[in-house]
Amino acid sequence: MSGTFDSDLAYIAEELEEALPREFSTAVAKSSVALRLSVKALLEEPSPDSMARVLCQFSQLVEAMLRELEARPEVRAWRLAAQCATIAERLSGPSPVENPAFRQLPQMLMRTPWVRDEIESKAATAGISALSEPIAKGFRKTVCAQWLRTASRPESAQLYELLDDVPNDLEFRVRQVWLMRKAVHEEPSFAQVYAWSHGDLYPTLRSPFPPERLGQEVARLCEICSALKVEELAQQLEGVEWLAQYALNFLMPPSPEEWAIRRRDDVSRLLTGRLSRWHFRPFMQRLEPLDMVGAIISAGRPLLYERPAAHALLEHSLLQSAAFSTQTASVSLDILKSVEHEFEVLFDGFLLRLMHQQRLGSPQGWCDYLGGMHTLHYQAAQPPGLEAFRKEYLDQRGIRSLSEILLRSSTEGLALN
């Protein structure tokens, strides 16, 4: 343990305490003092708990620094340039640009109304013209790369670029330390780790459950989805270890106890973090529309929404089976309602991919699909054609609505009491 953090960390903390007052608010400067004291305690008496405190304070400090930097126009300009450069770089690759017709996709995507609106809005807050040459020329790799180099010149933009990579590394370390604190004398299975994570995330709703019960619940939901002929969800529920590992990697916060759900607002924060993490951004950050486009274009295909939808079904079932006290009943119902909504949105994301699947061989099909994703996640509305497609999908399986899937999963042969 003592070798995990050495004197370099203390040096970094001291440097931050000295430098931050020149660039940031008093609140951020005070956070740097608290970090230095925590580092000192860690080095004097190393332990998982003291390490967790350092990482928590370091994360909070980085988050506060990023938040203050984001208010500066030159940093906003850098963020917009970085997002556009990322999209342009990924559009220039082999996927999804598999044939000559896709050479038109960068220009078509830039002309899409919601993309234009997003870029013009961000450009306005950055104090730059949306008609400037880089933006007007669309997602062209060389133009956007030059734009990013120019936007990176201010010192505050360089600092933000440096800090922007830190949260992912910190969250990876936080996950390690959280597990270190939990698994003191054992080599736990993924199901066991998930059970711990769920217990820390929902402390007011249920006590931790043994992993064998989790396996029973996953198997039960798999049978129900198979009976409902929702094969795509059933496939994700065929193995508890795989689903638990996937959830821990992409859907559970790095230190669940720090994200504990005690009221409905906490669920909103959790779901925002999950969407960001699932699109390969840090849990602590809010996913922006252009980040979403970059992640999907980088993957070269729509993301597999049936995976988080299957987890949302499991989470809803686990929470539904929890015993509510009189004191927590109102909050518990609010939390359940939020989790139900998460399942419905994720299932719609899965259906949206099915609906557009045959059209993704054309650039217009990609523009329409990305537009549907924007409508689903950022306008809280139904993408064109999705309501009719959902009805057809459910009718073919004899299901009246998405609520019926939730109801069946919560009432048929409950494994948890």
Q: What is the pLDDT of residues 359-389, one digit of tens each?
A: 998 899 999 999 999 999 999 899 999 999 9
Q: Is the pLDDT of residue 338 over 70?
A: yes
Task: Assess whether 151 and 266 both reside in one domain.
Answer: no
Q: Residue 311 corresponds to which tokens in the numbers above?
A: 């987890």
Domain end point (choices 69, 85, 109): 69
| Residue 174 lies inside a defined structural domain of this protein | no
Task: Assess whether 261 and 136 both reside in one domain.
Answer: no
- Segment 210-216 long-range contacts (CB within 8 Å, at least 24 positions apart): 211/240, 213/415, 213/416, 214/240, 214/244, 215/191, 215/240, 216/415, 216/416
| Residue 321 lies inside a defined structural domain of this protein | yes
Task: Assess whether 243 and 273 both reside in one domain.
Answer: yes
Domain end point (choices 162, 182, 211): 162
d(CA 122, CA 380): 20
3-state SS, one letter per residue, for 75-113: HHHHHHHHHHHHHHHHHCCCCCCCCHHHHHHHHHHHHCH
Q: How confident is the model at residue 129 (pLDDT cuts 50, 70, 90)?
A: confident
Q: How confident is the model at residue 208 (pLDDT cuts 50, 70, 90)?
A: low
Task: Assess whether 259 and 391 both reside in one domain.
Answer: yes
| Residue 281 lies inside a defined structural domain of this protein | yes
Residue spans of beta strands (DSSP E) within 120-185: none
How confident is the prediction for the chain on average, in pLDDT? 87
* pLDDT for res 1: 37
Asked if residues 10 and 44 have their Cβ atoms less than 8 Å apart, the reply is no
* pLDDT for res 333: 82
Of 45, 140, 50, the C-alpha closest to 91 is 140
* pLDDT for res 3: 40
| Residue 346 lies inside a defined structural domain of this protein | yes
Task: Assess whether 194 and 313 both reside in one domain.
Answer: yes
Task: Assess whether 262 and 241 both reside in one domain.
Answer: yes
Average pLDDT over every residue of 5-31: 73
According to DSSP, residue 343 is labeled H
Asked if residues 252 and 201 have their Cβ atoms less than 8 Å apart, the reply is yes
| Residue 417 lies inside a defined structural domain of this protein | no
Domain tally, the chain: 3
| Residue 146 lies inside a defined structural domain of this protein | yes
* pLDDT for res 39: 84
d(CA 76, CA 59): 21
Domain end point (choices 19, 52, 69): 69
Of 27, 79, 101, 117, the C-alpha closest to 374 is 117
* pLDDT for res 10: 67
* pLDDT for res 206: 61
* pLDDT for res 335: 86
Task: Assess whether 11 and 63 both reside in one domain.
Answer: yes
Task: Assess whether 231 and 367 both reside in one domain.
Answer: yes
Task: Assess whether 205 and 347 both reside in one domain.
Answer: yes
| Residue 348 lies inside a defined structural domain of this protein | yes
SS3 (DSSP) at 208? coil
- Domain range spanning residue 243? 190-411
Task: Assess whether 244 and 377 both reside in one domain.
Answer: yes
* pLDDT for res 417: 37
State in Å, rounded, how far the first CA of the chain is from the last one.
Answer: 40
Task: Assess whether 63 and 80 both reside in one domain.
Answer: no
Task: Assess whether 304 and 285 both reside in one domain.
Answer: yes
